[in-house]
């Protein structure tokens, strides 16, 4: 086992206690206040119940907003130090997919760029050689849940802990490395996710720009969403798994990557893995 992998798997000190963000602290206070008002003030319960309902509606709406930070830490852009180095992060979700991922790796190699693959752990387990090839070519594999559940956003703390921990173990068993970043399916979540990720030492990562390439068959439209205004520090989202197909039957990601990678080169930008962006110092 490589030294880096051994270091990744080494025991670490437990993280400090999780601290709820201001919105959740206000929400908790509202709930306590509503209960107190309903008990202490005759006739106040309809107003108290209404306030709680409105608050729950707000929590749901925020949970369905992938780039929101109101439910906890959520990285939507690379740190300022990475942006200062001219770095972006190309992230590729839902694989590995034998019919797509090898071609993605070839395109990245040809351009000399690196990517982060947010993999579904059951697919890593199903295609272990391909997962190890991703790492061997200098890319990173991170946690995109064990099986990409469609009801992920309504799980409770135990459900989140079981699903995400299982994915951690499955990916580590195949690659020898435990992920440090996590992406929720479609970016949807609820207030129970942040403390689970904190306990597991995982950073929630969403994106700056997404191509919607799981449903958009027009590669030009996907490219425009990613490339228009592209700047250092951006996190870009594409898919090798669940990829939409062009009218000619080709995975959209394979049509989008060549011009996107060419634009990175023209702008003097370098795509790096998320672990690289988060740990490398600014060059003096």
> Is pLDDT above 60 for 192?
yes
Radius of gyration of the chain (CA): 21
**Both 26 and 85 in a single domain?**
no
Q: Supply the pLDDT for residue 1.
A: 35
Would you mind telling me the total number of residues written for the chain in this entry? 284
Number of folded domains that form the chain = 2
Same domain, 51 and 145: no
pLDDT number for residue 13: 60
Q: Is residue 244 part of a domain?
A: yes
29 to each of 43, 202, 268, how far by Cα in Å? Answer: 20, 27, 49
DSSP state of 94: S
Widest distance between CA atoms in the chain:
72
Question: In this structure, are 119 and 260 located in the same domain?
Answer: yes
The answer to the question of residue 5 being in a domain is no
Average pLDDT score over the chain: 91
Residue 40's pLDDT band (cuts 50, 70, 90):
confident
Helix (H) and strand (E) counts in the chain:
12, 8
In a domain, 58, yes or no: yes
Give the separation between CA 57 and CA 27, rounded to whole angstroms: 11
Q: 91 versus 5: which is more confidently predicted?
A: 91
pLDDT at 3 over 60: no
Residue 199 belongs to what domain range? Answer: 80-279
Q: Considering the domain boundaries, does residue 203 fall inside one?
A: yes
């Amino acid at each position: 086992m490589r030294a880096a992998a051994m270091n990744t798997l080494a025991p670490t000190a437990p993280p400090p206690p999780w601290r709820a963000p201001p919105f959740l602290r206000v929400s908790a206070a509202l709930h306590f206040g509503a209960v107190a008002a309903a008990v202490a003030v005759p006739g106040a319960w309809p107003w108290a119940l209404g306030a709680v309902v409105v608050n729950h509606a707000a929590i749901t709406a925020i949970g369905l907003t992938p780039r929101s930070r109101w439910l906890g830490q959520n990285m939507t852009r690379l740190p300022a130090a990475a942006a200062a180095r001219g770095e972006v992060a190309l992230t590729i979700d839902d694989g590995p997919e034998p019919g797509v991922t090898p071609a993605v790796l070839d395109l990245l190699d040809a351009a000399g760029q690196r990517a982060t693959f947010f993999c579904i752990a059951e697919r890593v387990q199903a295609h272990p050689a391909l997962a190890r090839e991703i790492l061997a070519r200098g890319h990173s594999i991170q946690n995109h849940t064990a099986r990409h559940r469609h009801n992920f956003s309504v799980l409770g703390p135990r459900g989140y802990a079981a699903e995400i921990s299982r994915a951690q173990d499955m990916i580590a068993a195949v690659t020898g490395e435990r992920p440090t970043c996590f992406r929720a399916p479609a970016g949807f979540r609820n207030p129970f996710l942040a403390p689970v990720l904190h306990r597991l030492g995982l950073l929630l990562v969403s994106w700056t720009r997404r191509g919607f390439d799981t449903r958009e068959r027009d590669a030009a439209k996907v490219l425009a969403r990613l490339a228009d205004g592209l700047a250092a520090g951006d996190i870009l989202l594409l898919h090798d798994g669940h990829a939409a197909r062009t009218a000619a039957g080709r995975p959209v990601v394979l049509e989008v990557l060549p011009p996107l990678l060419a634009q990175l080169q023209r702008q003097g930008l370098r795509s790096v893995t998320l672990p690289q962006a988060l740990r490398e110092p600014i060059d003096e």
